[in-house]
Homo-oligomer: A and B are copies of this chain.
Amino acid sequence: MHIGFLGGTGMEARGLALRWAAAGASVILGSRSLEMAAASAESCNEILGASLIRGMSNREMLAASEIILLTVPYGQAVDAIESCRLLLTHNHIIVDVTVPMVFREGHAEFVEQSGLSNAEIIAGHLPDGVPLVTAFKTIPAAILTDLQKTLDCDVFVCGDCETARQKVIQAAAAIPSLRPLDGGPLKNARTLELMTVLAAELNRRYKKKGARYRIVGI
């Protein structure tokens, strides 16, 4: 399993990279800058105590990875896809983790974009035949990056390509104490984005950082 990160220097990327690498997956952090990618990988490897994660330019990362986590800020996702559009093939699966959320006076707010989820907007910019799957939107970076913390939650996986969705479910299942759930078609991505805003609101009200979801009864 070869997992790459398009935008591998942010907290969500580093958190997922740490969790996957610790579970034995091949992980590559990509960045427009090779130096930034290498530095991000190096600091992750220090936490892991072993050289498990590699840093590469986005171009090299895309050539070496099948599952590509799109881990840039939500407003930069379309540009990130457009900048490497010609390098994307049918063998890639793009996994969108972005959430269109801003903070105003301490309150988390969902950013309306003509009734569409950020996932749907990104999907519209992918070449034909490159599937988009959405996952990890509801998993807080603050928890992912702290390897002492048990995740103990569910990850909702949505996408219109059944094969791609199942591959991401399989990849997510490699991370300990994280249960992947099949959330159905991509149109459900909006629900996940709104759930993340609600979790941020709960964090604020209850003075926590790691509110996340578990489904009871399944």
Partner-B contacts on A (CB < 8 A):
115, 140, 143, 152-153, 156, 181-184, 188, 190-192, 194-195, 197-199, 201-203, 205-206, 208-218
User: What copy number does this chain have within its complex?
Assistant: 2
Complex: chain B residue closest to A217, CB-CB? B210
Q: What distance in Å separates the Cβ of A19 from its nearest Cβ neighbour in chain B?
A: 16
Q: Which 3 A-B pairs have the closest CB atoms?
A: A210-B217, A191-B194, A153-B216
Q: Are B183 and A191 in contact (CB under 8 A)?
A: no
Q: Which chain B positions have C-beta within 8 A of A199?
A: 215
Once the chains are docked, how many angstroms separate the CA of A65 from the CA of B38? 65
Contacts of A213 in B (CB 8 A): 213-216
Question: Of the candidates B181, B201, B206, B214, which one forms a contact with A216 in the assembled complex, judged by CB atoms under 8 Å apart?
Answer: B214
Q: Which residue of B has the minimal Cβ distance to A181? A: B202
- Chain B residue nearest to A190 in the complex (CB): B194
Task: Name A156's contact: one of B140, B188, B190, B198 (CB within 8 Å).
Answer: B198
B202–A212 CB distance below 8 A: no
Give the docked Cα–Cα distance between A199 and B217 (Å). 10
A214 contacts across to B, CB distance below 8 A: 213-216
Across-interface contacts of A153 in B (CB, < 8 A): 216-217
CB–CB A212/B215 < 8 A:
yes
Asked if residues A218 and B206 are in contact (CB atoms below 8 Å), the reply is yes
Q: Which residues of B contact A194 (CB under 8 A)?
A: 190-191, 194
The residue of chain B having its C-beta at the shortest distance from the C-beta of A149 within the complex is B217
A195: B residues at CB distance < 8 A: 191, 195
Check A188 against B184 for contact (C-beta < 8 Å).
no
Counting chain B CB atoms within 10 Å of each CB, which of A156, A195, A198, A214 scores highest?
Answer: A198
Known pairs A190-B194, A191-B194, A194-B190; A211 contacts B201 (CB<8 A): no
Distance, CA A182 to CA B209, complexed state (A): 16
Find out whether the CB atom of A211 lies under 8 angstroms from the CB atom of B216: yes
B residues less than 8 Å from A143 (CB atoms): 217
Given contacts A115-B115, A213-B213, contact A218 B202 (CB under 8 A): yes
